[in-house]
Amino acid sequence: MELAEEDIVNIENAVAQGGDIWNNPLVANFKTKVKEYYRDFENEQCCYCKKNFQGEFNMVIDIEHILPKGKAEFRELMFITTNLNIACKRCNMKIKGSKTDFVFDINNSAQNHMDSANYRFIHPNVDTYFDHINFFQHIENDKKLIKYKIVANSEKGKYTYEYFKLNELEIDSINQAQGLVEKAEFSEKIDSTIQDRLRQAFKNI
């Protein structure tokens, strides 16, 4: 990813101003470029769970700091593009956040952030995801099959699968179709009295 001189100057000025550097308006253009670059690089997928981003607005996609910017040891990596990628809000905010338990040694990782050996999980920019996990997805009408399979008993694959709780994203409604509630049955379970009451609330305004 190439940065224009203007982007670099804006980052330098934002850092000099201090405060909430990452949300300084001066770096807004830089962040847009990062998202555009990594949307293409990751083929419109979350770098950790492979959730599809095709057609999504940029605002629902997070820029992921692989080594978290909130930790003092990694502060200098805040704008280093090799420490950035894109992730869904579930992986970035709900699961990973500012944790550092996925690295073997914090100080060594700070000094050598592109060394794959420093990471327990699959590094989005250094490792090849599909060397460690195969991702299967098939959608047929309203039936879905989503499955993750560890490749060759990969330790990084197993760690990533467990760390990001990928089992929670697995679906097999194609083979479980008999257990799905029919729409007609579902409609019968909707309480019309409650619906009428909720609609009436607006008429009383």
Q: What is the pLDDT of residues 131-142, one digit of tens each?
A: 999 999 988 888
Q: Quote the pTM value.
A: 0.84
pLDDT value at residue 195: 78
pLDDT value at residue 28: 96
Q: What is the pLDDT of residues 105-118, one digit of tens each?
A: 999 999 999 999 99
Q: Are 92 and 69 in contact (CB under 8 A)?
A: no
Q: Are 60 and 46 in contact (CB under 8 A)?
A: no
pLDDT value at residue 175: 64
- Report, as an integer, the average pLDDT of 145-169: 97
pLDDT value at residue 193: 80
Round the average pLDDT of the chain to a whole number and report it.
90
Residue range(s) defining the domain that contains residue 155:
5-203
Residue 42 Ramachandran class (φ > 0 left, ψ -120 to 50 alpha, else beta): alpha
* Strand runs labelled E in the chain: 62-65, 84-87, 133-140, 143-150, 171-172
pLDDT at 76 over 70: yes
Strand partners, 138: 145
Q: What are the contacts of 39-43 at 24+ separation with CB within 8 A?
A: 39/86, 41/85, 42/85, 42/86, 42/124
pLDDT at 181 over 60: no
Task: Provide the domain count of the chain.
Answer: 1
Strand 143-150 versus strand 171-172 pairing type: antiparallel
pLDDT value at residue 1: 80
